Chain A
């Protein structure tokens, strides 16, 4: 959040973000069935270990793969789809899926087709769109355009189309909103969420964006350099601390010291960032701070998962 706003507005915004109305995700199938398991899984490309001795098992219906660029998320997805094979160890995706929809990170779409051609083929293959959606209108793309003439963002929208045809029972998504602008991304994420609710399908999503993982996953596997750093459930969204950037950091620090609150400061490329332990008295303090004409430039609530990520990737 950026700009002038009252503390009560800020507080209610935080509450709505961190306690969102839960989506009613009710996947079909046996909820205790293992979705994905790996045992001592290693994948090497030459001398590079893209996946390094990974072992885990999950019964969740909504699995997130989280990690920075080069952590092995896409490699893991290619392994579970059978596009590439392990150097050693094993990986097993549940076989009880008849209709899997896969959205790769860099899909090589059939460039010579028009959008209409592609949609007709999708319908012939998977069945019609499951709900009353005018996909073309929502995606904002003309049917007569050739796929090779579309921009990267438009091609990404086309790449997402298979999700909406028929009734998938598993979606495997690798950075699904790459290249999308902010507005398109919001529209597409909503469409995807609605489709998952409508079809009851399970989801495996790989992303470096924490908010996308939060939106679709219940359990997250955190990868770094091909290794599993951590498995976590992300249903616990208790806020541990807040990070804030302000127009007058010295003033805020003075107030924090006076109130004897736990805090730390960090120089970032955007300016001084202050981290405060989550405490009810923060709001009173921020009220005092803003009363003298000072502004809050950005405000971020940090939960347990984010804290773990920060520790792991800053170590």
Chain B
């Protein structure tokens, strides 16, 4: 009980001080929804109208995902990569370790809470797509969109922690993370590509078979998390 309490207090203080939770919750929704609203629409004559509307919804949703992703990448670069590196250098994390915080629990809790906040933000965002966004998708598509987007969030989160552990300099780790995400968005843009399915799973929400996106995303997130954990528990943390 004591361990849970102290770990909770430490995570709250070090990783989610003052307005950080609001940043995680609100900004991605705004960014995603603005991208959705500003995306191009086109209307054709009868017969093709439903196809076009349907296709536009797909593009609009992709715009939403794009805006959402870019905003959470920026947030993670500053609030996760940078902060994670800083707290391990300035002695603040070490102090909490001396007060009973456990490294494994701290990492796991931070990881889960960040994914939790962003998943909540995403859920609200998807609801806003439906109302007042006007997007109308089959329930299975919504579910796939939600699940694959959460996988995408987990990928970005685990990658962010991984980069912070490997690159100890806070500014460099934040920059490396942002550049990596940008490279993935810009150069990994062929939807039929296996790498696209694994590293940008949210964009495959209308695929018939999402096994590769789902399984690959979970596997890569898990692997990155595991490597992060190994590095984290075996490194020196200085007071």
Interface residues of A (CB under 8 A from B): 74, 78, 81-85, 99-100, 102, 104-110, 112-113, 121, 124-126, 162
**A-side contacts of B128, CB under 8 Å:** none
Complex CA distance for A200 and B5, rounded to whole angstroms = 25
Once the chains bind, are B236 and A102 in contact (CB under 8 Å)?
A: no
Complex CA distance for A275 and B43, rounded to whole angstroms = 103
Once the chains bind, are A84 and B13 in contact (CB under 8 Å)?
A: no
Q: Which of B62-70, B88-96, B168-176, B196-204 contacts A (4 or more CB under 8 A)?
A: B88-96
Task: Give the interface size class of chain B.
Answer: 20 to 34
Known pairs A83-B98, A110-B13 / 13 extra A-B pairs, C-beta < 8 Å: A78-B239, A81-B97, A81-B98, A83-B238, A99-B2, A102-B98, A104-B94, A104-B95, A104-B98, A107-B239, A108-B95, A125-B2, A125-B5
Complex CA distance for A269 and B162, rounded to whole angstroms = 56
**A-side contacts of B237, CB under 8 Å:** 83-84
In this assembly, does B17 line the interface, its C-beta being within 8 Å of a C-beta of chain A? yes
Interface residues of B (CB under 8 A from A): 2, 5-6, 9, 13, 17-18, 90-92, 94-95, 97-100, 234, 236-239
Q: Can you name the residue of chain B whose Cβ is closest to the Cβ of A124?
A: B5
Once the chains bind, are A84 and B236 in contact (CB under 8 Å)?
A: yes
Complex CA distance for A102 and B239, rounded to whole angstroms = 12
Complex CA distance for A105 and B234, rounded to whole angstroms = 23
Once the chains bind, are A107 and B100 in contact (CB under 8 Å)?
A: no
Query: Chain B's nearest CB lies how many Å from the CB of A151?
Result: 19
Once the chains bind, are A112 and B95 in contact (CB under 8 Å)?
A: no
Query: Chain A's nearest CB lies how many Å from the CB of B130?
Result: 39
Query: Chain A's nearest CB lies how many Å from the CB of B35?
Result: 34
Complex CA distance for A108 and B92, rounded to whole angstroms = 5
In the A-B complex, the 8 residue pairs with the closest CB atoms:
A102-B98, A84-B236, A108-B91, A108-B95, A108-B92, A125-B5, A125-B6, A104-B239
- 28 CB contacts below 8 A, A to B, read A78-B238, A81-B97, A81-B98, A83-B97, A83-B98, A83-B236, A83-B237, A83-B239, A84-B236, A84-B238, A99-B2, A100-B100, A102-B98, A104-B98, A104-B239, A106-B239, A107-B95, A108-B92, A110-B13, A112-B13, A112-B18, A121-B9, A124-B5, A125-B2, A125-B6, A125-B9, A125-B99, A126-B2
Complex CA distance for A182 and B90, rounded to whole angstroms = 30
Q: Can you name the residue of chain A whose Cβ is closest to the Cβ of B1?
A: A125
Overall SS of chain A's interface: loop
Query: Chain B's nearest CB lies how many Å from the CB of A205?
Result: 15
Once the chains bind, are A105 and B2 in contact (CB under 8 Å)?
A: no
A121-B9, A125-B100 in contact; A105/B95 too (CB < 8 A)? no
Query: Chain A's nearest CB lies how many Å from the CB of B48?
Result: 59
Complex CA distance for A182 and B13, rounded to whole angstroms = 33
Once the chains bind, are A108 and B90 in contact (CB under 8 Å)?
A: yes
**B-side contacts of A99, CB under 8 Å:** 2
Once the chains bind, are B99 and A102 in contact (CB under 8 Å)?
A: yes
Complex CA distance for A254 and B115, rounded to whole angstroms = 82
Complex CA distance for A121 and B97, rounded to whole angstroms = 15
Q: Can you name the residue of chain B whose Cβ is closest to the Cβ of A126?
A: B2
Complex CA distance for A130 and B237, rounded to whole angstroms = 31
**B-side contacts of A83, CB under 8 Å:** 94, 97-98, 236-239
Q: Can you name the residue of chain B whose Cβ is closest to the Cβ of A109?
A: B95
Q: Can you name the residue of chain B whose Cβ is closest to the Cβ of A84?
A: B236
Once the chains bind, are A85 and B239 in contact (CB under 8 Å)?
A: no
Complex CA distance for A247 and B161, rounded to whole angstroms = 67
